[in-house]
Amino acid sequence: MTTTTNPRSFTDLPSDILFVVFLSVSVSDILALKQTCRVLHTLGSSDYLWHQILKSIDLPLDIPHSLDPCELPGPEIQAIVVRALRLEDNWKRPTSLITKYAPIIYGDTNNAVVDGMELLREDGGLSLLWCLKDVDDIYRAASFDIFAHYKRFAVALQKGNSRATLAITTDDAHQGVLQIYDIPLIDRSESDFVHHSTPQLRRIVQRPLKARGIIHEVSIHEDVVAAMFVDLNADFPGHSYQILLVNARSGVQILLHPKFEEPFLRLSIKLCYDHIALVGGLFKEVIVRIFQLPPTLTCRLDVAQSSGRGPSFEKGGNVIEDMGECTEHIIEHIPNVPDFFISDGLNGAPESLPESLSFLFFTPLIDDRRPNVGELVRLSLDTNREQDSCTRKRLFPVPKACSVKLVCVGSTGRRAIWIEQNWDSDRFRLMKAHFPNGETESFTVNVLIPPNPSLPFSPEMCSTLAFDEATGRLCVGLITGDLWLLDFNRW
């Protein structure tokens, strides 16, 4: 006759059963269980448990893109997840609490207005020149002069978080149409010394012989830069666009001239790993086509193997019209196709395409035939799904006589912000949106900053915005030239 020993308490259960229990409850319950005894504290801190939680949590997480989350220890993942949950709780509230705000000091602003910003996703953030990892200790990480009249820019951190690549489009014939810089980022200990950084000008790219029009947009991913020319004199709108691709390290250059059958009213480009996405809008549709980049462009050679100033294609200027096979996605029945706003998810995936792209559309103010609404569309990039199941749409009301500007959509499309202007009252509000992925959780649109806030500025003074949904930080550039950083994460 055999006897079985019943567990005398919850902690006497086998570890595998305890892990199942931990994975069946919320993160807040896990944190509470950890406080009860040493056994549960040890299990609740294990790497295995938090790696499993990381796979299941549906929130934007503040993890550097160049870092493999599987390499993080359990306690570090726990801290990241807890911060994400606190930010989610604050963002979902009708009135989100600004936990901290601080000015970004960059010198005399009497004759300078910042007209473009971008937050870089790594351990901290950068708005071109400043390290924003600690809101209480903002410092300049890089500073240098650009001797050309720049038109557009794109910037990306390199792996290791010590250097950034900056691509600038210019209209100076003597300085090329595209300049690519390698920028070293200084540490906090070096920032007390007044000095300029010493960036390396990696490439000066001259206008290809067969390029037509002006550069309208630029995108960057690691060493590959894409600049799009728009020819306003083209015979057919679908033939108006050319894309110059440059590998900043190897010097390889390719000029693409896709001749679309559709008369696109607008085309946007996004680089992601070894893919390029072309997003075109026409009438009531948006078409997303994703192409594989040519292998000659994505290969990496030592930077010392080329001089860095001459074009790499033949002097005749080879133009590629056939871009090969692509994956196509279509969004139909859109209220305002020419003026769409895309999440920056393509720029955030280091070695693969993101699961989805999010789009924001707003009804034109001049269209009196339909109610004034906004529409979020989440487009799945999963090629195994049926086309009809690839899109999810959510409508939300916009006050009458209101227009929007400075729209920022987070990488996952879960959070967004924009400036709303009421033309009747001439009042401005900074709005926020919460768009969860699940069907059961409701989405919300609320005021983030009212017209007359208790802040050193008001929404009508904003000239540019940069938003990072994972950290809950918002950079605001004012018409006065001042810069402010707002933090919505409840640490």
- Distance, in Å, from the CA atom of 164 to the CA atom of 142, rounded to the nearest integer, reads 9
Say yes or no to pLDDT of 106 above 70: no
Are the C-beta atoms of 465 and 406 separated by less than 8 Å?
yes
pLDDT, averaged across the chain: 80
Q: Give residue 487's Cα distance to chain centre.
A: 17
- Distance, in Å, from the CA atom of 123 to the CA atom of 128, rounded to the nearest integer, reads 15
Are the C-beta atoms of 208 and 317 separated by less than 8 Å?
yes
**DSSP structure class, residue 223:** T
Query: Which amino acid appears at position 90 of this protein?
Result: N
- Please report which confidence band the pLDDT of residue 491 belongs to, taking 50, 70 and 90 as the band edges: low
6-20, 52-66, 189-203, 351-365: range with highest mean pLDDT: 52-66
The fold adopted by the segment(s) 10-92 is Monooxygenase (1.20.1280)
Are the C-beta atoms of 74 and 56 separated by less than 8 Å?
no
- Please report which confidence band the pLDDT of residue 314 belongs to, taking 50, 70 and 90 as the band edges: very low
- Distance, in Å, from the CA atom of 461 to the CA atom of 146, rounded to the nearest integer, reads 27
Say yes or no to pLDDT of 84 above 60: yes
- Please report which confidence band the pLDDT of residue 309 belongs to, taking 50, 70 and 90 as the band edges: very low
Say yes or no to pLDDT of 98 above 80: yes
Say yes or no to pLDDT of 137 above 50: yes
**DSSP structure class, residue 260:** -
110-119, 195-204, 377-386: range with highest mean pLDDT: 377-386
Q: Based on DSSP, count helices (H) and strands (E) in the chain, helices before strands.
A: 7, 27
- Distance, in Å, from the CA atom of 467 to the CA atom of 433, rounded to the nearest integer, reads 12
- Distance, in Å, from the CA atom of 168 to the CA atom of 159, rounded to the nearest integer, reads 20
Contacts of 328 (CB under 8 A, 6+ apart): 287, 288, 289, 290
In the chain, how long is the greatest CA-to-CA distance? 95
Q: What percent of the chain has pLDDT over 90?
A: 25
pLDDT of residue 127: 38
More confident residue, 318 or 472: 472
What number is the average pLDDT over the span 119-145? Answer: 57
Mind listing the pLDDT tens digit for each residue in 374-401? 889 888 887 666 655 567 788 888 888 8
- Distance, in Å, from the CA atom of 347 to the CA atom of 118, rounded to the nearest integer, reads 12
Say yes or no to pLDDT of 121 above 70: no
Are the C-beta atoms of 357 and 379 separated by less than 8 Å?
yes
pLDDT of residue 123: 41
Say yes or no to pLDDT of 240 above 50: yes
- Distance, in Å, from the CA atom of 200 to the CA atom of 183, rounded to the nearest integer, reads 7
pLDDT of residue 64: 75
Token pair 């998810």 is found at 345
What number is the average pLDDT over the span 265-280? Answer: 88
Query: Which amino acid appears at position 78 of this protein?
Result: Q
Range in 174-183, 301-310, 322-331 with the lowest mean pLDDT: 301-310
Say yes or no to pLDDT of 348 above 60: no
Q: Domain ranges in the chain? A: 10-92, 97-116+344-490
- Distance, in Å, from the CA atom of 273 to the CA atom of 80, rounded to the nearest integer, reads 25
Range in 262-266, 297-301, 408-412, 457-461 with the lowest mean pLDDT: 297-301
- Please report which confidence band the pLDDT of residue 146 belongs to, taking 50, 70 and 90 as the band edges: low
pTM: 0.83
Element (H, E) at 100: strand 100-104
